[in-house]
Structure 1
Amino acid sequence: MFRPEFIARIRYEFDKTMAAGPIALIGWLGLISLAIITVAGAVVSLFSIVPEGDEDISFIEGFWASLMRTLDSGTMGGDEGWGFRIVMLLVTLAGIFVVSALIGVLSTGLDSKLEELSKGKSKVLEKNHTIIFNWSESIFDVIREIVIANESSRKPRIVIMADMDKVAMEEEIADKIKDLKNTRVICRSGDPTVLFDIGLASPETCRSVIIMSPETDDADPQVIKTILALVNDPDRRPDKFQIAAELREAESVDLARVVGGNEVQIVLADDLIARVMVQSTREPGLSAVFVELLDFDGCEIYVVEQPKLSGKSFGEAVMAYDTSSVIGVCSAEGVVSLNPPSNLPITEDMSMVLIAEDDSTILLDGKATNVAIPSLGKAAAVLPKPERTLILGWNRRAPIIASELSRYVGPGSLLTIAADVPEIEQAVADIVVDSKNQKIELKKVNTGRWADISSLDPLSYDQVLVLAHNDHMSAQAADTRTLVSLLHLRKMKETDDRNISIVSEMVDVRNRTLASVTNVNDFVVSNKLVSLMLAQASENEHLEAIFTDLLDDGGSEISMRPAENYVTLGQDTTYQEAVQAALARGEVAIGHHILNQTEADGIGQSGIIINPIKSTAVRYNAGDRIIVLAE
């Protein structure tokens, strides 16, 4: 008799093999089939159990006969002799059991494999692909931009990994992006903070990585952990990663830099949107300039070595290109300087920061490389004056906007915040601004109601900023509230001749067309702007430094100045003359705004064109503006 411990051990070992999956089950069924066929073959051979009229058969023949009846129950239909029939009947019944079980195991295993594939848990075997970690509303604009950038590439791939169902991601992408051109999008389901799941996207063979801010409360720690996993993976590639990461809080930037080093570029999303919105109140139309600079569909910013310019001055370098616009220099250490003095000597180790339609169009084709740049001095500084600003709506970017505004306005300015979101009193009380310049007051009103907005007398303010309520509403609901507020403001303006600047934030770029009927001075589409910045940063390792300079109040900013400051209105001239006049004022021209021309004329957004050909003839009229980099 077997002891209970031995029986338990045998049962345990059997359970382990059964838990190994379909392969183990198929193995057990194979062993059972082999045992049945072997026993049946031995019985008919040893006991001479053969069909009537047949001679004795060997074990091999008996084995074969049993095997055929195990696989096909119809084979026994022609058997004769009751002894042989009984043995083959038993073999056939056992075969029916084995084959039925085998079909069930194979079906279950196939279903399990298909379910595993649908979950996106297999490793991606791609090379030179772009990886996007996490999922947010901005991801669709990122994909669109990468698709445009990939048009000239061979078999481009985008791999998306997020903690979502793979099929749901694929369906949403197919619903919102109708044309992927030659790019294929591959989705994988996993946790982008887990090293094993990150490995499924094959980062060791990728071209670039984009880490989006997930729609969770602890977004920044998750992004930082993903950077940490990529950069410090024991099996990471020796080559440098090109990572673009989106963060929300300025406090997270230093930690991200410690973790990612020079392999990561930070896009501080809320700070970017807030600064562009504030600057747009000073320069209506500025958001369109940023979009033109950041999208892959027009001109882009490049940092390229140009050894032929060594020994020239920066002013001569600006005039050395007809189809490109030089805006600054980059040192060998990667330090970017935009709009440096025109007499700055160009050294061999410097790279040029310039705007061009494509890197293939960057040619030293200018006709004025030795032109003398007169010094007219910088434009006279305008002292800030007291201003009254109204913010309609609230989201997490409002405190940054309030703080940024206080840097531009003069002493005695007032900022009124009008919203009705929960706990707004404490949020407004926590805003840190320069109290000498700007006081803050709160008005709890419903920004979607005419009576509430009218009670604020919005037309008495110098500028109005309409923020999206996307912290407390979905993207579409937030844009709907924004549209209602803008329509109310438009109605008020139609019955009043007071002129104010209105800048509005939209979440979804698809709602911008609807908002255009409200006659707003400028729109900042927050998701679109962040998406463009991430897509560009994944391709250009110097982009963060460039835009840090552009958006910093202490650096060179994009300004749109009256054309009459540079050329004579109403006369035929060339854009080159405007560029030379800008240099004489200590500025760098990057484009112009032709008032009476629009996208229908092929001139870009609302008449804005970046990087015009310098030799192009143009006639500037009243209202036209030159777009420059100026301190």
Structure 2
Amino acid sequence: MRRLRYRFDNLVTRGSRALLALLVLVALAISVVGATALVVLAPGAADLPLALWSGLTVAREEGPPPLPGSTPVVALTGIVIFSTLVGLVKTGLDRRLAGLRKGRSPVVERGHTVVLGWSEQIFLILSELAAAGETTCVAILADMDRPSMEEAIRDRAVLPRALRVVCRTGNPTDPADVAIVSPERARAVIVLGSEDADSDARTIRSLLALDAAGVRPRVQLVAGVRDPDNLVAARLAGGSGALVVDVDEISARVVVQSCLNPGLLRVYGELLGSGGSEICFRQPGDLVGESFGDALPALENGSLIGLERRGGIMLNPSAGTRIDADDRLVLIMAHGGAKQFRASSEPDRRAVVASGEHTPVAHRVLVLGWNARGPAIVAEFDRRMPPGSQVRVVAHDPRMTSRMDALAGTLTNVTLAHETGDITRYGTLDALGVGSYDHVLILADDRLGAHVADSRTLLTLLHVREMSRSNGWRHSLVTEMARECDRRLAEVTEVDDLVVPARVTGLLMIQIAEHPRRHDVFTDLFASGGQEISIRPAGDYVRLSAPVDYATVVAAARAYGEVAIGYRGDRTARGDGGVVLNPPKSRKVVFESDDAVIVLSGRDPRKDGLRPAAEPRRRLNHEIT
């Protein structure tokens, strides 16, 4: 009896299918026994097949039953079996619904975008993908329950109905879990890092899990690492088709460029975001045979910035570079812009005042706060500022004091000074003489949680802004925020630029995931020693207080070996900081002393050339220190 009960318990634990099979066998057994008894005890009532059918269907003709008392037995047996069957169906449905709520069912999609991991960037990624309109489904795999992910997305991301977001629960580093979102059939896979110290390790393991899922080389992989020492390992894990972004290095360069060029972050936001101006590739058309310098003012609705030739990118080549029929124009155009067409305006050479050489001016920079990107930020200041410049760092962080001596020995253009102080106290800031600096940079403390770090940053920002407003100081003020949601709070302080590193790198990863051809363009823009976007005084290019065609501005920028891509006018303009990208060449502009021209500049264009064919897909993070 114990053995029979043991076997019954094992059968029950096998699930609903085993119980359903048991019920069928019991029903058949009862029907066979009943039919046999009917034939034996009442030979004239029915033959065996008819008796078996009558037992299975519980059907008979009018009249008394052949066996008295058989009807209640059959009815009770049917009720028991039917009730048990209903219970099994309900239990199976409950289990199925519970499994769906857990988010473990496979995703059957093709051409979708896969996101592995969960961070603050996920809401930005979804919003940008929705704005771009180039994918209809995004599958997210993260190590958290599905209802929590869906609720967070509903609360913090406004998405159109055309974009479906499918959330699944699983470990992004486990090949079996990664297979749930069908990455091998996706158009692109984005691997998100985490906020802790193990971010790079998990990113590399996710890339290995994708390799085990058989996604390469068919699917575009994009990932980010924080430590440059992990770049080689990440590239090996992702394979030749993976684009690995050095998150902290790029963030440091954007912070420094924004500090030295107020308003530049708005330019990057438009180029990297969806809906504004974008980088695109077009056929040269009737520009074949013309020189690059002559072609710059020739397009009315597009800003020519370079050429794509034999799989390589030339940004801002020499003016005499001839455009071949096999080349592709690299343009900045309005999102979804029509075909480029010829400009009707000719540059007015009389309005050009360009001298052909910018006079370098030493800068004084005050850095308030410190984080892991601090050394890279100081090194970037040294690379971009002329000799005689000064950088002063004030923070209450032991990492700063331990790195300063070694860091100062590597600098060539900048004199570095540092001191310990609580930058959230008004008295500390007042004693620093903030008004004597050309640029003020406030860094978020990454030792603290993002919420606490942003709270301290906002307090420092409010103190500096009030001091500057009360004393009439004129200096650029750039603030680094840890969270995108806190950026709206800081906007009320009228700060020049608010840098959220996660936002910049997130937009960059989306761009190269959705448009791999743009990768090499951003490589040159963000890499050390490549082309860069600068904002320079308009008085260096054209006459002030007099109307000029924008085509004249383009011609004036070429005198410096630069490519004009826009201008910054009235900085009080609502919503855009006065930044205008890719204006029509025929537009009349009147520049004043505070206005500026946005240009693409960098290496001496006379020494520029096509990137070697051996590295047509050089990574954004190719420099490994």
TM over 0.5: yes
Q: Residue type of the partner of 1:249?
A: D
Q: Residue type of the partner of 1:41?
A: A
User: C-alpha offsets along residues 462-505 of structure 1, whole Å, 9 cap, x if unaligned?
Assistant: 4221122354213x443322221111112222333443322101
Aligned equivalent of 1:111: 94
Cα contact 1:128–1:206 (8 A) shared by 2: yes
Q: Residue type of the partner of 1:467?
A: L
Rate the CA distance shift 1:266–1:41 in 2: closer, same or farther, 3 A: same
Aligned equivalent of 1:149: 132
1:175 to 121, 131, 155: 155
Q: Residue type of the partner of 1:114?
A: L
Q: Which shows bigger deviation, 526-535 or 366-375?
A: 366-375
Rate the CA distance shift 1:528–1:127 in 2: closer, same or farther, 3 A: same
Cα distance in 1 for partners of 2:240, 2:349 equals 39
Q: Residue type of the partner of 1:607?
A: G
1:189 to 169, 173, 195: 169
Gaps of 5+ in 2: 603-625
1:84 to 68, 72, 85: 68
Q: Residue type of the partner of 1:454?
A: D
Rate the CA distance shift 1:280–1:100 in 2: closer, same or farther, 3 A: same
Cα contact 1:389–1:416 (8 A) shared by 2: yes
Secondary structure in structure 2 of the residue aligned to 1:554: coil
Higher relative contact order (CA 8 A, sep 6+): 2
Cα distance in 2 for partners of 1:191, 1:369 equals 60
Cα distance in 1 for partners of 2:150, 2:40 equals 64
Aligned equivalent of 1:127: 110
Secondary structure in structure 1 of the residue aligned to 2:280: strand
User: Does residue 310 in structure 1 map to residue 299 in structure 2?
Assistant: no
Secondary structure in structure 2 of the residue aligned to 1:606: coil
Rate the CA distance shift 1:424–1:106 in 2: closer, same or farther, 3 A: farther
User: Does residue 24 in structure 1 map to residue 18 in structure 2?
Assistant: yes
Q: Percent of aligned pairs with the same residue? A: 34
Aligned equivalent of 2:194: 214
Aligned equivalent of 2:379: 403
Aligned equivalent of 1:250: 228
Q: Which shows bigger deviation, 395-404 or 156-165?
A: 395-404
Rate the CA distance shift 1:414–1:367 in 2: closer, same or farther, 3 A: closer
User: Does residue 241 in structure 1 map to residue 219 in structure 2?
Assistant: yes
1:265 to 235, 243, 255: 243
Cα distance in 2 for partners of 1:90, 1:58 equals 20
User: Does residue 59 in structure 1 map to residue 43 in structure 2?
Assistant: no
User: Does residue 284 in structure 1 map to residue 278 in structure 2?
Assistant: no
Cα contact 1:208–1:538 (8 A) shared by 2: yes
Aligned equivalent of 2:138: 158
TM-score by length of 1: 0.85
1:337 to 283, 292, 314: 314
Cα contact 1:303–1:352 (8 A) shared by 2: yes
Cα contact 1:462–1:501 (8 A) shared by 2: yes
Cα contact 1:509–1:528 (8 A) shared by 2: yes
Rate the CA distance shift 1:370–1:582 in 2: closer, same or farther, 3 A: closer
Cα distance in 2 for partners of 1:143, 1:177 equals 7
Deviation at 1:165, TM superposition (A): 1.1
Aligned equivalent of 2:42: 48
Cα contact 2:365–2:439 (8 A) shared by 1: yes
Q: Which shows bigger deviation, 203-212 or 283-292?
A: 203-212
Cα contact 2:255–2:499 (8 A) shared by 1: yes
Q: Residue type of the partner of 2:192?
A: M
Rate the CA distance shift 1:231–1:464 in 2: closer, same or farther, 3 A: same
Q: Residue type of the partner of 1:185?
A: V
Cα contact 2:259–2:439 (8 A) shared by 1: yes
Deviation at 1:370, TM superposition (A): 12
Cα contact 2:119–2:195 (8 A) shared by 1: yes
TM-score by length of 2: 0.86
Aligned equivalent of 1:615: 586
Secondary structure in structure 2 of the residue aligned to 1:171: helix
Q: Residue type of the partner of 1:59?
A: L
Deviation at 1:277, TM superposition (A): 0.9
Question: 1:550-589 to 2 correspondence within 5 Å?
Answer: 550-589=525-564
Cα contact 1:356–1:362 (8 A) shared by 2: no
Cα contact 1:269–1:530 (8 A) shared by 2: yes
Cα contact 2:183–2:213 (8 A) shared by 1: no
Q: Residue type of the partner of 2:578?
A: G
Question: 1:412-431 to 2 correspondence within 5 Å?
Answer: 414-420=390-396, 425-426=401-402
Q: Residue type of the partner of 1:280?
A: S
Cα distance in 1 for partners of 2:520, 2:489 equals 35
Cα contact 1:563–1:620 (8 A) shared by 2: yes
Deviation at 1:511, TM superposition (A): 3.4
Aligned equivalent of 2:443: 467
Cα distance in 1 for partners of 2:142, 2:55 equals 54
Cα distance in 1 for partners of 2:388, 2:296 equals 41
Deviation at 1:113, TM superposition (A): 1.0
User: Does residue 506 in structure 1 map to residue 506 in structure 2?
Assistant: no
Cα contact 2:345–2:549 (8 A) shared by 1: no
User: Does residue 352 in structure 1 map to residue 329 in structure 2?
Assistant: yes
Q: Residue type of the partner of 2:260?
A: R
Secondary structure in structure 1 of the residue aligned to 2:383: coil
Cα distance in 2 for partners of 1:384, 1:407 equals 14
Deviation at 1:320, TM superposition (A): 3.0
Secondary structure in structure 2 of the residue aligned to 1:407: helix
User: C-alpha offsets along residues 147-204 of structure 1, whole Å, 9 cap, x if unaligned?
Assistant: 0110xx5x81112122221111111000001332521111122222222322222223
Two-structure CA RMSD over aligned residues (Å): 3.4
Deviation at 1:398, TM superposition (A): 2.2
Q: Which shows bigger deviation, 308-317 or 39-48?
A: 308-317
Cα distance in 1 for partners of 2:277, 2:239 equals 29
Cα contact 2:348–2:552 (8 A) shared by 1: no
Q: Which shows bigger deviation, 500-509 or 115-124?
A: 500-509
Deviation at 1:627, TM superposition (A): 0.6
Cα contact 2:42–2:66 (8 A) shared by 1: no
Number of residue equivalences: 601
Aligned equivalent of 2:252: 274
1:594 to 566, 569, 592: 569
Question: 1:193-208 to 2 correspondence within 5 Å?
Answer: 193-208=173-188
Deviation at 1:44, TM superposition (A): 2.4
Q: Which shows bigger deviation, 195-204 or 108-117?
A: 195-204
Deviation at 1:212, TM superposition (A): 1.6
Rate the CA distance shift 1:220–1:278 in 2: closer, same or farther, 3 A: same
Cα distance in 1 for partners of 2:233, 2:167 equals 29
Cα distance in 1 for partners of 2:79, 2:406 equals 77
Cα contact 1:507–1:525 (8 A) shared by 2: yes
Gaps of 5+ in 1: 50-54, 70-74
Q: Residue type of the partner of 2:368?
A: L
Secondary structure in structure 2 of the residue aligned to 1:538: helix
